[in-house]
Amino acid sequence: MNEPRVFKNSPAILVVIALVFLILMGGIIFTASLENSFVALPLAAFGLFIFGLIFVANSAKVTITDEDITSQNIFGSRTLRWSEIHRVSGRGYEIKLHNYDGDVTVHPSSGLPGYEQIVDLIGVKRPDLFSPQEYSEFRRGIMPFILLGFVMLFVLGAAAAVFVLWMNGSDASMPSLMPLAVFIVIALIIGLTALSTPQSLTLGGRSLFLKYLFSKKTILADEIRYVQFGYTQSRNGKHYYVALNLTNGKNIRLSGLGVSMPIAYLVLKSWHRGSMHGQAANQQQPNIAPNWSDPTWR
C-alpha cells in the first residue's frame, strides 16, 4: 500500500441531505406555525436532532496507511498505529480497535462505502488479533430460542382455534380465514429460518462444526471455497453477513454468533487460510526415507 486509502461518503450526499432536510422542515414548520406557533419550535428541535444524527453518520471518514488507521467525523479524529492495537471488540456490524492503555479507540463506521475493504485491511495488517485459538467457538444468544418458542405457541394456538371452529360447525369461510392463514405462513417462515440458522460454531483443526437446534454438521476446510463478508442493500441501509461458500456451490450464512460480523469473518478467514496452507505444506513434503549418508538430512 504505497498511498493512503481513504473511505468516505461523497460530499454530494451531504448536500442532498441538507437540502431535503431544509425543504421538509420548512414545510412542516410553516404549516404548524399557521395553526399553533407552540408546535413549530418542538418540531424544529426534533428535526434538527435527527438531521444532526444523519449528518454525523455520513460525515465519517477512515484513512488507512501502512503505518496507521484513522477514523474521523465532525467532532474530531482518532489514530492508532498498527503496532499500538492491543485488542478488538464490537457488536453487530461494528468493529472497534483499542490500544494497550484503553484510552484510544478507532471505530470505523459500518455505513461507509467500502466498509468490507476496511475490515479486510484490518485483518491483513493485524492477523494476530483474530486467532482461531482465541475465538474457537461462537454461540448465539437466547433470543432465537425465545422467538422460536413464541412462533410455535402462535402456530399451535392458531391451529387449535381453526380446529375448534371446524368442530363447532361455525361458518368459517375461506375469505374469513385468509388473514389467519397469512399469519401462520409468516410464523412458519420465521420458525424455519430459526431452524436453518446455526446456533453455534466450533473450530477444531481442519474441521468446522455447526450445531443447529436439532442437528449437527461437520465441514472440512477443503470443502470451503472461500469465506465472504458481504451485504444486502435495502431501504434501511446495508445488512452485512458472513457466508461460507462451499465447493459444491452452496453457501451457509452466519449471523448473531456472539461476536460482531467483522470479527467472526476475520477469524473464519484466518482459520480457513491456515488450514489450507497447512494441508498444502503436508502435501508438498516428499514421502522418501532419509539418506543418512547425505549430510543435508542431518
pLDDT of 43 above 50? yes
| Percentage with pLDDT > 70 across the chain | 69
Q: Angle at Cα 136 formed by Cα 131 and Cα 142, nearest 5°? A: 130
What's the pLDDT at 226?
94
Q: What is the pLDDT of residues 77-91, one digit of tens each?
A: 899 999 999 999 998
pLDDT of 123 above 90? yes
Pairing of strands 85-89, 76-81: unpaired
What's the pLDDT at 34?
56
Fold of 197-282: PH-domain like (2.30.29)
| Percentage with pLDDT > 90 across the chain | 33
**Residue 101, C-alpha cell as written in the block:** 492503555
Give the integer Cα–Cα distance in Å for 289 and 50: 73
SS3 content of the chain, % helix, strand, coil (to 5): 50, 25, 25
Rg from Cα positions in the chain = 27
* 3-36: b (≥16 Cβ within 10 Å) or e: eeeebbbeeeeeeebeeebeeebeebbeebeeee
For 80-94, 181-195, 283-297, which range has the lowest pLDDT when averaged over its residues?
Answer: 283-297
Residue 161 — pLDDT band, cuts 50, 70, 90?
confident
Q: Residues 237, 218: contact at Cβ < 8 Å? A: no
Beta strands in the chain (DSSP E): 5-8, 61-64, 68-73, 76-81, 85-89, 96-99, 105-106, 137-139, 200-204, 207-211, 216-220, 224-234, 237-246, 251-254
| 141 vs 223, more confident | 223
Long-range contacts of 226-235 (CB under 8 A, 24+ apart): 226/272, 227/265, 227/268, 227/269, 227/272, 228/265, 229/116, 229/119, 229/120, 229/261, 229/262, 229/265, 230/116, 231/116
Residue 64 — pLDDT band, cuts 50, 70, 90?
very high
Q: Does domain 5-130 have CATH number 3.30.70?
A: no
What's the pLDDT at 94?
93
| Total-model pTM | 0.74
